[in-house]
């Protein structure tokens, strides 16, 4: 009897130990599962875009939406003026539109605040100039000129045997790039660009200055459509 | 139970309690941080989605406003020859600015992401980026394009490209990602020849080999480009 009791007493702690081990194993498995799932969730949601890029994207979208709001306001005002039916309202609106489109298409000389960059280098290519112009455009440039040649998107900037050409005319370094737009934003872009350019071994010097009233006197020559049919 | 046994049981309980606190704290640190990251990330994603939705709605409204203005101008032009002449001039300028839809012979270039390479140094090289789109667009304009649209976004004289890894932002639009279709109207043969030149688009060609980035080109007798539907505000530019 006593040996049976002592045997039962030995089996009871052994059972408890077994249950405890199972419980611990279960807890460890639970914690591990939660931990792995949490990490997987983070990784899955972060695929492709990091938080910093998202923050920049939000900033860009805010700016874009503000610009769209300004365009909507302007268009609403024009629609209202045209709807008034007042004599001469349509002519005035159309004349204003012609002036505005000529400014943005580079068909007339312009002035305004902005920056002037000076890049002295040898061996820079058309891709380098395209990048520089695109960076300034993305930074809010509303009008651009390189060495007295007006540049708008759509005008060929190409590599030729004698160097980089804008619409077929070679622009020999040093390049002086004039950009008109929000001077503070453009200065930020120009600052970053000049820092990067100075790290380029092909570049002898890269500087910029802010202008309260920069002038761009060159214009783009109009080319008629040969293939395109406006619908 | 002896005092010694009680003391040792108490010690075990204390150690177990301390271990429990340490483990709980550690778990809280390890589990809450990721869950906070997820919440923060999701909040940012929600902001982006809301801003994108506002953006799309604004562009739809702008297209409607422009159509309404065009109709009112047409009405006014029907009553005056001066207005009619001004309207013709505006129409030409608007076409050049990308504000009017156009069609004609042209090409379509499709860029698709490739396959990620091993190692962090090549990170992102398999993705189509804004510089690739910019290079294709510049090549097409150099070789006879008269109008271009990227994934249905018409380009204008003020168009600029930006973006981060695998995302392409054009003007005030929402980000685009692979596949990217660049549609161009213009001198189809010159554009096809330029795109077929193995020395053109060197960066894209190199990544075609290294990361299986895809560049597909097709000519077409009739490519249609939509009108630009965003802002063309130039508040800082004045006539000289």
CATH number reported for the structural domain that contains residue B153 in this entry: 3.30.70.1880
Same domain, B5 and B113: no
Same domain, A87 and A165: no
pLDDT of residue A1: 41
- Single out the residue of B167, B55, B170, B239 nearest to residue A134, CA to CA: B170
pLDDT(B74) > 90: yes
Instruction: Say whether A152 and B101 touch across the interface (CB within 8 A).
Output: no
User: What residues make up the domain containing B219?
Assistant: 101-225
Instruction: Say whether B233 and A62 touch across the interface (CB within 8 A).
Output: no
Residue B129 lies in a domain: yes
Q: Which residues of chain A have pLDDT under 50?
A: 1-4, 42-46
pLDDT of residue A15: 77
Same domain, A121 and A192: yes
Same domain, B123 and B142: yes
Same domain, B87 and B126: no
Under a CB-based contact definition with an 8 Å cutoff, are residues B223 and B106 in contact? Answer: yes
Of B72, B93, B142, nearest to A98 by CB-CB distance is B93
C-alpha span between A94 and B206 (Å, rounded): 49
User: What residues make up the domain containing A71?
Assistant: 51-103
Of B31, B96, B234, nearest to A103 by CB-CB distance is B234
pLDDT of residue A7: 55
Residue B240 lies in a domain: no
Domain tally, chain A: 3
The distance of A135 to chain B (nearest Cα, Å) reads 8
Chain A from 117 to 156: CB within 8 A of any B CB: 126-127, 130-131, 134, 137-138, 141-143, 152-156
Instruction: Say whether B58 and A72 touch across the interface (CB within 8 A).
Output: yes
Residue B164 lies in a domain: yes
- Single out the residue of B75, B93, B100, B53 nearest to residue A65, CA to CA: B53
Domain tally, chain B: 2
Residue A166 lies in a domain: yes
Same domain, B111 and B183: yes
- Residue A103, token pair as written in the block: 């400014």
Number of A to B CB contacts under 8 A, please give it: 265
Same domain, B215 and B111: yes
pLDDT of residue B121: 61
- Read off the pLDDT of each residue in B70-92 and give the average, rounded to a whole number: 94
- HSE value, Cβ hemisphere, 13 Å, CA-based, for B177: 11
pLDDT of residue B221: 98
Residue A181: left (phi > 0), alpha (psi -120 to 50), or beta? Answer: left
Same domain, B164 and B84: no
Residue A221 lies in a domain: no
Same domain, B115 and B162: yes
Same domain, B163 and B175: yes
Domain endpoint, select from B97, B122, B147: B97
More confident residue, A55 or B34: A55
pLDDT of residue B42: 84
Segment holding A116, helix H or strand E: strand A110-121
Q: What is the pLDDT of residues B214-232, one digit of tens each?
A: 999 999 999 999 999 999 9
Residue A223 lies in a domain: no
Residue B230 lies in a domain: no
A-chain residues near B231 (CB < 8 A): 67-68, 70-71
Same domain, B69 and B156: no
pLDDT of residue A8: 56
Of B87, B141, B240, nearest to A154 by CB-CB distance is B141
Same domain, B90 and B106: no
pLDDT of residue A45: 42
Of B30, B40, B82, nearest to A91 by CB-CB distance is B82
Same domain, B67 and B110: no
pLDDT of residue B16: 79
Q: What is the pLDDT of residues B191-200, one digit of tens each?
A: 999 999 999 9
Residue A120 lies in a domain: yes
Chain A from 10 to 29: CB within 8 A of any B CB: none
pLDDT of residue A42: 46
Same domain, A198 and A147: yes
Residue B159 lies in a domain: yes
Same domain, B76 and B107: no
């Amino acid at each position: 009897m006593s040996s049976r009791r002592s045997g039962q007493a030995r089996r009871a702690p052994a059972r408890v130990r077994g249950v405890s081990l199972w419980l611990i194993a279960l807890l460890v498995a639970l914690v591990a599962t939660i931990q792995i799932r949490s990490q997987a969730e983070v990784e899955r949601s972060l695929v492709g875009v990091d938080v910093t890029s998202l923050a920049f994207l939000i900033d860009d979208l805010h700016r874009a939406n503000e610009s769209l709001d300004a365009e909507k306001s302007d268009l609403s005002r024009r629609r209202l003026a045209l709807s008034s039916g007042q004599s001469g309202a349509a002519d005035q609106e159309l004349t204003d539109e012609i002036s505005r489109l000529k400014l943005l298409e580079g068909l007339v000389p312009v002035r305004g605040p902005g920056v002037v960059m000076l890049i002295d280098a040898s061996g820079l290519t058309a891709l380098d100039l395209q990048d520089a112009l695109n960076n300034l455009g993305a930074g809010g440039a509303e009008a651009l000129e390189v060495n007295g040649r007006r540049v708008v998107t759509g005008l060929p900037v190409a590599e030729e045997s004698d160097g980089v050409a804008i619409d077929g005319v070679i622009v020999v370094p040093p390049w002086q790039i004039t950009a008109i737009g929000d001077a503070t934003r453009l200065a930020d872009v120009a600052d970053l660009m000049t820092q990067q350019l100075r790290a380029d071994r092909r570049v002898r010097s890269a500087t910029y200055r802010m202008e309260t009233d920069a002038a761009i006197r060159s214009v783009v020559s109009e080319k008629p459509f040969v293939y395109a049919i406006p619908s | 139970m002896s005092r010694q046994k009680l003391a040792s049981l108490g010690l075990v309980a204390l150690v177990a309690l301390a271990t429990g606190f340490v483990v709980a704290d550690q778990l809280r640190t390890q589990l809450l941080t990721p869950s906070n990251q997820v919440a923060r990330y999701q909040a940012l994603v929600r902001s982006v989605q809301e801003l994108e939705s506002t953006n799309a709605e604004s562009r739809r409204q702008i297209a409607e406003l422009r159509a309404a203005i065009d109709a009112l101008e047409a009405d006014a032009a029907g009553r005056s020859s001066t207005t009619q002449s001004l309207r013709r001039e505006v129409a030409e300028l608007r076409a050049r600015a990308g504000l009017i839809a156009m069609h004609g012979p042209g090409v379509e270039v499709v860029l698709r992401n490739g396959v990620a390479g091993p190692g962090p140094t090549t990170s992102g090289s398999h993705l189509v980026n804004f510089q690739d789109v910019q290079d294709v667009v510049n090549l097409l304009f150099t070789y006879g394009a008269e109008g271009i649209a990227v994934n249905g976004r018409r380009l204008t004289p003020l168009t600029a490209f930006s973006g981060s890894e695998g995302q392409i932002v054009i003007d005030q639009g929402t980000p685009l990602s692979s596949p990217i279709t660049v549609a161009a109207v213009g001198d189809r043969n010159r554009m096809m020849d330029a795109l077929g030149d193995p020395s053109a688009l060197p960066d894209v060609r190199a990544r075609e080999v290294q990361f299986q980035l895809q560049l597909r080109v097709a000519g077409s007798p009739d490519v249609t480009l939509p009108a630009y539907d965003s802002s063309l505000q130039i508040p800082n530019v004045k006539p000289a």
